[in-house]
Amino acid sequence: MPAFADPSQQLDGFQWPLQPAEPAPGAMRRLRLAVMASGEGSNFEALTLACRADRPPADVALLVVNNAACGARERARRLGVPCRLIDHRLQPSREALDAALISAFQEAQVDLVVMAGWMRIVTPRLVQAFPERLVNIHPSLLPSFRGMDAVGQALAAGVRLAGCTAHLVNEEVDAGRILVQAAVPVLDGDDHASLTARIQRQEHRILPLAVGLAAQRLGLLAQG
Ligand code: GRF
């Protein structure tokens, strides 16, 4: 039994400050998003559902996956979101992979691209194609525990507070401007799975908010 209740559980009814944009005079169109995922796709699904509830007012126009068998692809099928497989193993280089991604995103005419568990390092080519328009979700309170296995790093360091960060992507790994963070306690008896699950519940909450904030910064979405 944890020594104390997990306070992050109590936030479930919390109302994020971001409201759907009022259809302004000269009304803004809905945002078009692309999502990149390599694995389970729980963030992709949470973001898609949040967008369908207008938080933020956006459409996930395209999911790109790099693994044919990933859960994200199955979720896209279930949710009716167009999905493209761009397998990195079939690309001659990281640059070629990113060039294929850029073409897919340009074709889909998206405003923002969301890296939701994309397990490849992106090149400056992708970052420069979508300046200030590329959002990533990372399972740590950045700038702590950048890079691979952030949850394992947090457990090994013995921190009592962990969390997640949604940030803009620049050319340095996990170092772009922070948009939203959420903290969760590390409880006695936590293991990798239990801490990951607690962090992911918060990822699902902050990623849609961060996408809205990124769009607001670009003037694509009215201030809430
Ligand atoms: C998330 O924990 C995210 O922070 C990390 O990869 C994981 C993806 O999970 N970058 P899912 O595929 O969205 O379920």
Report which of 193, 143, 150 is spatially closest to residue 170, judged by C-alpha positions.
143
Residue 11 inside a domain? The answer is no
**Each residue's pLDDT tens digit, 35-45:** 999 999 999 99
The pTM assigned to this predicted structure is 0.89
Q: How many angstroms separate the alpha carbon of residue 120 from the centre of ligand 1?
A: 12
Residue 23 inside a domain? The answer is no
Residue 200 inside a domain? The answer is yes
Q: How many angstroms separate the alpha carbon of residue 43 from the centre of ligand 1?
A: 6
Which residue shows structure tokens 């490849």? 120
Residue 10 inside a domain? The answer is no
Provide the domain limits for residue 151. 30-217
- Separation between Cα atoms, residue 151 and residue 104, nearest integer Å: 31
Residue nearest to atom 14 of ligand 1 (CA): 42
**Each residue's pLDDT tens digit, 82-104:** 999 999 999 999 999 999 999 99
Q: Which residues pair with 62 in a beta bridge?
A: 34
Which residue shows structure tokens 């640059």? 95
Q: What is the CATH number of the domain that holds 135?
A: 3.40.50.170
CA 85 to chain centre: 18
Structurally, how many domains does the chain consist of? 1
Cα distances (angstroms) measured from residue 119 to each of 27, 32, 93: 37, 23, 15
Q: How many angstroms separate the alpha carbon of residue 202 from the centre of ligand 1?
A: 11
Which of the four pLDDT bands, split at 50, 70 and 90, describes residue 18? low
Residues with CB under 6 A from ligand 1: 37, 39-44, 116-117, 137-139, 200, 203
Residue 5 inside a domain? The answer is no
Residue 154 inside a domain? The answer is yes
Q: Is-catalytic flag, 138?
A: yes
- Separation between Cα atoms, residue 174 and residue 36, nearest integer Å: 16
- Ligand 1 closest atom vs CA 200: 2
